[in-house]
Amino acid sequence: MYKKARSKGYDVRTLKKVVSQRRRRGHGGQAKIQVHDSTVERYHALLE
């Protein structure tokens, strides 16, 4: 997945952070969920 994203010019470091936060999402409190959501929104804005 990361090689494909890199070949398309995506920021792989940010993508890894988003994926890891999504995996841990069920283990955190509301603050972690808000941080995750803002990171995902920022990343999607960069892709557009």
Contacts of 46 (CB under 8 A, 6+ apart): 11, 14
pLDDT at residue 36, as a whole number = 79
Instruction: Specify the amino acid at residue 21.
Output: Q
Give tens-digit pLDDT for 22-41: 776 666 667 777 887 888 88
**pTM summary value:** 0.39
pLDDT at residue 40, as a whole number = 84
Going by C-alpha positions, the residue among 17, 4, 15 that lies closest to residue 44 is 15
11 Ramachandran zone, left/alpha/beta (phi>0; psi -120 to 50)? beta
Going by C-alpha positions, the residue among 22, 24, 18, 20 that lies closest to residue 39 is 18
Domain boundaries, the chain: 1-47
